[in-house]
Structure 1
């Protein structure tokens, strides 16, 4: 166990030390403000304050972990060996940067509470982030800093044996609409027919009626393929089904449709199933509750995980609503059009509410790549390189790689050609050194 001596034990300090020490590095941490307790401790120990006590392992503290609310913080990002960091410490500190303060800034999403420009859906975009502007979005910096901390501790305490964590994957299958043509109802089928006809999309019109007459397979119905892949993998896939009402933003299947209900039940026999909350559930607790109860009725167990439509988050309200409904995990944190680490980490972390200054029980699984972001690269060779680069970044720190694919990504639709091969690269990455 690591004992941390500090002048003040704050909620922020406990939160970030527990993430770095326990979740990322795998050892326990405790805190004290008493010098005699610190001296008596005969294992890992460090001081985290403004001045060292003597010649102990010392990291000079930044004020952010002892503050409350939001403040205008000056951030100067500097190069640190193979990565970047901020909150520079000077020479006396065992680490040149206060990685705990910097990690708190990243994990709490401090910058997302500050004024920023949003996109047309009201989302925080990658280009507004410190990580994008300073060129470290493609690295899980919090985990990298944690391993640098472990390395420094190992030099100071060579007899201590640290536990080892292994690289893992958690493939996400987002299902905004389980079928392209099937189970859409008479009015939507008629509307789609008229639209195809007047836009001269005769191939789409032909495919629509071939599917409806049972002569062709629905292109979005890729679930047999995915379940076969699940059977070959030791890591559980997590499917998020949209079961909200039809709207301008959400164009899924009627949540009472027997084919959809049967499909969800079938998928839940092999993989984990979560709720893809509708666009309007994001700001309406009653709508979210209705969708949660509907999903629990279908899968017959308490709902554990959710993901918001359009990867939209309103901090802290979105997460507070999930906590109120006792949803344990969220998979919305990430960027739709940018590959990288929105919270700077590839280790799941608990949501810290900056308004209430408390660590909450909601576990955030930040995703690192979405299929749409790979469409920006032209050749399949480029796509593979981009994918392998992000996988290797996660592997270096034995993190959890979370990619988001959609059910239609595995169809024969031209734009998704080759994506099955990319998915196989992710599944195979577990067995490769």
Structure 2
């Protein structure tokens, strides 16, 4: 069934984008857009006899307020009990934070009734399209000026963190509310079928622990194993590898171990490689043309896994560097036999600026990004567990680049010795269960250097086995 979406005339590019993402990309519905002077969004059939009316708030603001503090959601947010609509099975919990909405008119005005007398119209007081646009485009990260020591937008400044729903995929919840409303009006409507995916990626910050490294770094590594991690086996392994100069024996040679486990569980791993030496203390020291790096690339390709992009620390604002580093990686991978239909990866240190970094990745020819997660938390930075096409808020256009939001990173949940608290352990599996519930993607980052010791490998094995 083709539906008609009647919308106000303001913000045409923004509305077209978010309607296409939600209705076509996520739900798989065909629709036609009509623009009028109405004050809300109306989804109807061709005869206009059945209608779903949705509040319109974000896109109702003036152009002067766009991308300013005045356009941000008013806090504290209202919380709506979605069971008022009879959507008992839509979500796993009744309270729904309302990022944008018109609850007053719903509760106090003429729209208090859920349906008109003939039962053909239904009213949703939540600005579903505006709220999803806010989350998916990371709107607030372009408006607010808060930054941490790495010039990243800090979680404490995020609406989701401040309002307590950072571990909830709020966009997916809004989609379920919208779908419940659509089904209320058109019971025979059918949505797109989706399947849960575990997206495993491994940022290769360094290909070797001690082999070929400066003596000072080798001593620091062995000292850390001895004093901090108290792991005598790792001390001996690093000493042996350094003495023999044998890359095969280096503790960071974990690529086959990772691929063995992935293959055992029927999933593919993506290894995100750096290509340059970098120019800061935060960059690791290996070159993609290093013989061992080439060996690793070749081995990954031969076993049917994927190569990804992990640009240097200072690249996230530099279009030329992003493109040159990516093209160098792609050339090296293809020389080792890689034939990939899509290329993507993640920024080093999760450094990202809205929408500059996305635009640079688009121009470099990458297909997807998986940077949008947290360095010190786990959860849903974009509020979504579905992959989606991104939007450039400054140029006001949809990009071909897609975002695969990062939910969990190993360094966020593990201690230096490779242990994890029961609380964080439980949160990992809770987030994974949520992604399964919505037939979404659970995106997990585990560095190759984080499975070097026996303790670290045991933890990784337990994590993957429990997830799957």
Offset, 1:64: 2.3
**More deviation, 253-262/361-370:** 253-262
Offset, 1:216: 8.2
CA contact (8 A) 1:65 1:101 kept: no
Partner SS state of residue 19, structure 2: helix
Match of residue 214, structure 2, among 177, 180, 189: 189
**More deviation, 79-88/141-150:** 79-88
Where in structure 2 are the equivalents of 1:206-217 lying within 5 Å?
Answer: 206-212=236-242, 213=244, 214=246, 217=249
* Alpha carbons of structure 1 residues 199 and 298: separation in structure 2 relative to 1, 3 Å: closer
1:108-148 CA distances to partner (integer Å, 9 max, x unpaired)? 11110123321111111111100000001101110111011
* Alpha carbons of structure 1 residues 57 and 196: separation in structure 2 relative to 1, 3 Å: closer
Question: Which residue of structure 2 aligns with residue 283 of structure 1?
Answer: 317
The 1-side partners of 2:53 and 2:462 are apart by: 48
* Alpha carbons of structure 1 residues 237 and 193: separation in structure 2 relative to 1, 3 Å: closer
1:41 and 2:80 aligned: no
CA contact (8 A) 2:166 2:380 kept: yes
The 2-side partners of 1:18 and 1:117 are apart by: 31
1:59 and 2:54 aligned: yes
* Alpha carbons of structure 1 residues 67 and 392: separation in structure 2 relative to 1, 3 Å: farther
Match of residue 423, structure 2, among 378, 382, 395: 382
**More deviation, 228-237/258-267:** 228-237
CA contact (8 A) 2:350 2:372 kept: yes
Offset, 1:264: 1.2
Offset, 1:67: 5.5
1:190-247 CA distances to partner (integer Å, 9 max, x unpaired)? 2224556899959676543301314983221111111112323443222101222144
Question: Which residue of structure 2 aligns with residue 394 of structure 1?
Answer: 435
* Superposition TM-score, scaled by structure 1 size: 0.86
1:245 and 2:277 aligned: yes
Question: Which residue of structure 2 aligns with residue 51 of structure 1?
Answer: none
CA contact (8 A) 1:25 1:165 kept: no
Question: Which residue of structure 1 aligns with residue 100 of structure 2?
Answer: 87
Match of residue 451, structure 2, among 392, 410, 414: 410
Question: Which residue of structure 1 aligns with residue 366 of structure 2?
Answer: 327
Offset, 1:286: 2.8
Q: CA RMSD in A?
A: 2.9
* Alpha carbons of structure 1 residues 305 and 125: separation in structure 2 relative to 1, 3 Å: same
Question: Which residue of structure 1 aligns with residue 117 of structure 2?
Answer: none
Partner SS state of residue 340, structure 1: coil
The 2-side partners of 1:370 and 1:199 are apart by: 22
The 1-side partners of 2:413 and 2:165 are apart by: 19
Match of residue 344, structure 1, among 373, 383, 408: 383
CA contact (8 A) 2:206 2:286 kept: yes
CA contact (8 A) 1:391 1:401 kept: yes
Question: Which residue of structure 2 aligns with residue 48 of structure 1?
Answer: none
Q: How many residues end up aligned between the 2 structures? A: 412
Offset, 1:255: 2.3
Partner SS state of residue 346, structure 2: strand
* Superposition TM-score, scaled by structure 2 size: 0.80
1:70 and 2:94 aligned: no
1:301-335 CA distances to partner (integer Å, 9 max, x unpaired)? 57711311100102222112111111111111111
The 1-side partners of 2:154 and 2:164 are apart by: 15
Offset, 1:249: 1.3
Partner SS state of residue 168, structure 2: coil
Partner SS state of residue 33, structure 1: strand
* Alpha carbons of structure 1 residues 315 and 63: separation in structure 2 relative to 1, 3 Å: closer
* Alpha carbons of structure 1 residues 24 and 271: separation in structure 2 relative to 1, 3 Å: same
**More deviation, 414-423/106-115:** 414-423
CA contact (8 A) 1:13 1:66 kept: no
* Alpha carbons of structure 1 residues 26 and 326: separation in structure 2 relative to 1, 3 Å: same
Task: List alignment gaps of at least 5 residues for structure 2.
Answer: 38-42, 82-92, 112-121
Offset, 1:284: 2.5
**More deviation, 340-349/208-217:** 208-217
Offset, 1:257: 0.8
**More deviation, 318-327/336-345:** 318-327
CA contact (8 A) 2:345 2:370 kept: yes
**More deviation, 11-20/382-391:** 382-391
The 2-side partners of 1:385 and 1:371 are apart by: 14
* Alpha carbons of structure 1 residues 372 and 199: separation in structure 2 relative to 1, 3 Å: closer
Question: Which residue of structure 2 aligns with residue 367 of structure 1?
Answer: 406
1:42-86 CA distances to partner (integer Å, 9 max, x unpaired)? 5xx7xxxxxxxx872211211426755413224242223333222
The 1-side partners of 2:14 and 2:322 are apart by: 30
CA contact (8 A) 1:167 1:399 kept: yes
The 2-side partners of 1:11 and 1:66 are apart by: 15
Question: Which residue of structure 2 aligns with residue 257 of structure 1?
Answer: 290
Partner SS state of residue 211, structure 1: helix
